[in-house]
Amino acid sequence: MVHRMVEAMSQLQEEKARLQEELAALQERLALRDSDQQATSTQLQNQVENLKEKLISQAQEVSRLRSELGGTDLEKHRDLLMVENERLRQEMRRFEAELQELRAKPVAPCAGCEHSQESAQLRDKLSQLQLEVVENKGMLSELNLEVQQKTDRLAEVELRLKDCLAEKAQEEERLSRRLRDSHETIASLRAQSPPIKYVIKTVEVESSKTKQALSESQARNQHLQEQVAMQRQVLKEMEQQLQSSHQLTAQLRAQIAMYESELERAHGQMLEEMQSLEEDKNRAIEEAFARAQVEMKAVHENLAGVRTNLLTLQPALRTLTNDYNGLKRQVRGFPLLLQEALKSVKAEIGQAIEEVNSNNQELLRKYRRELQLRKKCHNELVRLKGNIRVIARVRPVTKEDGEGPEATNAVTFDADDDSIIHLLHKGKPVSFELDKVFSPRASQQDVFQEVQALITSCIDGFNVCIFAYGQTGAGKTYTMEGTPENPGINQRALQLLFSEVQEKASDWDYTITVSAAEIYNEVLRDLLGQEPQEKLEIRLCPDGSGQLYVPGLTEFRVQSVEDINKVFEFGHTNRTTEFTNLNEHSSRSHALLIVTVRGVDCSTGLRTTGKLNLVDLAGSERVGKSGAEGSRLREAQHINKSLSALGDVIAALRSRQGHVPFRNSKLTYLLQDSLSGDSKTLMVVQVSPVEKNTSETLYSLKFAERVRSVELGPGSRRAELGSWSSQEHLEWEPACQTPQPSARAHSAPSSGTTSRPGSIRRKLQPLGKSRPVPV
């Protein structure tokens, strides 16, 4: 029995140990489950938190999308508008092209036409709309992209939410299964307790020890029961926990459902809003369409107006086009025409130039021939008139002539013939025929008129001599120099030369130079020089031309009347200061003004040189017969010598002698070139009209008449001179009775010259002095 009891006890102990092990295992499992539940709960809480966050972000996104969706619809609306506008724009572009064509045509477009203004406005509007459309398009595409992204994300989140829910359901199922298992285990454990009680009772009965053991076992059992109660308590708590966990899960589910409904509601709202937006959009489209239709109508009306304009413009355009084509054809043909015209004009011009050239050549030839002819005619005229022309000028009766019978007029004129002069000499009338006779009434201009042909011939290259001959006081100086108010031949001649030269300036280049000299007692002096008392010599030019020149004779180039006046003034001053009694001195000396005119023909290069010798001779009164003595006699002798030499030369020339005694006096030697050949000489015989001078008047007129009959001419050059009749000699007593064929005139003594006071005049600077002056 004891043994059995011991066995039973051991069995009980084993059982107890097993139970204890099972308890430990159960406790362990409970702890594990607890921790699992804890972990699951925290996991679920986390998941719920995440879901909450997601929901919040979804809600935010939904609200954002909602606000953005409004913009998107507007964009779509604009897009549609843009399409409509694009269509309108194309139509407008078409109209514009038409308008452009119209404008391009040569008719003036209807400026300020309201259609064009409207078109411009429409164009502006269109361009603005286009710009807006482009902007909106950009925005729309961006928004579309965003919406797409959001929708994707929403779907993803929903998917994940579903997954989470499924997981959660599974977990709950698992937990409930485990709970069921735990319940079953507990029930099985409860079912095991009665056999144990029975064993204990049996053991107690069997032995005290056993009873003790039983009591112990009972205590232990008590303890185990307590432990089981505790375990039950723990299980109860665990069940409570599970319950609370279930409640939490339910709460979470409710929350999820709430969120889902919220989401659903938001979705519904979103759809509603989208619907309303769609409606708005449709309304706006309709409005825009209506507006566009109105605009289109207006555009159509404009187009109709433009078309009517076009219809009216078309005929004008047609005519213009025709005109344009015609003009184009003309213009195309114009260069050809122009070329032809130019060609023909060029040819004509060339021909004309050639003609003009040949005409010019012809004219030049004719001009040269005319020049020669003129010279020839002039020569012929002079030959006919006589190379030496003699005119007489009778001065008026002056106060100096005094009164009484001696001062009565002894000179009369022929009313019908101005070449006849009558002189009443000692009661006898004597008549003379000269080339021309000037009465006292004749003016300086009248006299100059007579001589100006000679002067101009000087320009053509002729040498000319004009002598004033006559007794002292007969008017020689008056005729040659004149007064400042009424100038004589000298100044007028130079003025005439200037004007003639100026007239010919286009063809000829002329240089006019002036020299002034005097011959006193056969000594030649320079009136314009720095040393007037210096004796000048006449020499042959060293170039072998046979021409004469005076070394050191001052030559002024004159270019104006002012220059001439200066030259005359200077010469006059020179003379006035040189001689104390100028009147007396001038009456006993020959004053020469030598004008040289050098010309070059610009076209032919022909050169001419003409010389004009204007000579105021010394008084011709016959001093020799009056019984003068000393220096006066010597002066008279020199005067007589030179005047008779002049007469001899003229006589020799006239009689065409082989030898002409030019060298018999300084005067004739100096004027050799101007007296010979085709030179021209004019002698102005000055006559006093009064009774007391009739003897000298008769003498002068006889001299004049004889000189007049002498001829110079082309055939009368030195080598061809004929014989000279001694009957033609002048009546006075020359200092040299017979002409000296080869007398050296320049070597004749001149006693009175050295006594003159030295020159103090340095008023004018001569243009040139060193150049040889051919004479």
Q: What single-letter DSSP state applies at residue 618? A: P
With binding defined as CB under 6 A, does residue 473 bind ligand ADP?
yes
CB of 471 to ligand ADP, least distance (A): 7
Report the partner that residue 474 touches, choosing among Mg ion, ligand ADP, none (CB closer than 5 to 8 A by kind): ligand ADP
Mind giving me the DSSP string for 451-477? HHHHHHHHHTT--EEEEEESSTTSSHH
Write the interaction track for ligand ADP spanning residues 680-709; mark x where CB under 6 A is met and - where it is not. ------x-----------------------
Q: Rounded CA gap, 585 and 536, in Å?
A: 19
Structure token pair of residue 405: 């019978």
Write the interaction track for ligand ADP spanning residues 383-422; mark x where CB under 6 A is met and - where it is not. ------------xx-x------------------------
CB of 572 to Mg ion, least distance (A): 12
Neighbours of 92 (CB within 10 A): 21
Q: Are 538 and 670 in contact (CB under 8 A)?
A: yes
Known binder of ligand: residue 477?
Answer: yes
CB-wise, 73 or 518, nearer to Mg ion? 518
User: Hey, is 677 helix, strand or coil?
Assistant: coil
Quote the Cα angle for 285-291-296, to 5°. Answer: 120
681 backbone dihedrals φ, ψ, rounded to 5°? -130, 135
Known binder of ligand: residue 476?
Answer: yes
**Binder of ligand ADP out of 249, 477, 700, 750 (CB under 6 A):** 477
With binding defined as CB under 6 A, does residue 13 bind ligand ADP?
no
Q: Rounded CA gap, 677 and 549, in Å?
A: 18
Report the partner that residue 478 touches, choosing among ligand ADP, Mg ion, none (CB closer than 5 to 8 A by kind): ligand ADP
Q: Rounded CA gap, 633 and 625, in Å?
A: 10
- Beta strands 464-469 and 607-616 are parallel
Q: Rounded CA gap, 124 and 126, in Å?
A: 5
The Cβ-side half-sphere exposure at 453, using a 13 Å CA radius, reads 15
CB-wise, 583 or 725, nearer to ligand ADP? 583
Known binder of ligand: residue 470?
Answer: yes
Write the interaction track for ligand ADP spanning residues 587-616; mark x where CB under 6 A is met and - where it is not. x-----------------------------
Contacts of 133 (CB under 8 A, 6+ apart): 78, 79, 81, 82, 85, 86
Looking only at residues 581 through 610 of this chain, which bind Mg ion when binding is defined by CB under 5 A?
Answer: 586
With binding defined as CB under 5 A, does residue 477 bind Mg ion?
yes
Q: Are 650 and 707 in contact (CB under 8 A)?
A: yes
Write the interaction track for Mg ion spanning residues 546-585; mark x where CB under 5 A is met and - where it is not. ----------------------------------------
CB of 582 to Mg ion, least distance (A): 9
CB-wise, 470 or 734, nearer to ligand ADP? 470
689 backbone dihedrals φ, ψ, rounded to 5°? -85, -10
CB of 651 to ligand ADP, least distance (A): 24
Known binder of ligand: residue 474?
Answer: yes
Q: What single-letter DSSP state applies at residue 537? A: -
Known binder of ligand: residue 8?
Answer: no
Report the partner that residue 529 touches, choosing among Mg ion, ligand ADP, none (CB closer than 5 to 8 A by kind): none
Q: Rounded CA gap, 227 and 26, in Å?
A: 12
CB-wise, 526 or 621, nearer to ligand ADP? 621
- Beta strands 680-687 and 464-469 are parallel
User: Hey, is 487 helix, strand or coil?
Assistant: strand
CB-wise, 249 or 472, nearer to ligand ADP? 472
CB of 395 to ligand ADP, least distance (A): 3
Stretch that binds ligand ADP, among 262-270, 290-298, 467-475, 495-503 (CB under 6 A): 467-475
* Binding residues with ligand ADP: total (CB under 6 A): 13
Structure token pair of residue 60: 């935010």
With binding defined as CB under 6 A, does residue 515 bind ligand ADP?
no
The residues that touch ligand ADP, with contacts defined as CB under 6 A, are 395-396, 398, 470, 472-478, 587, 686
Binding site per annotation, positions: 470-477
The residues that touch Mg ion, with contacts defined as CB under 5 A, are 476-477, 586
Binding site per annotation, positions for ATP: 470-477
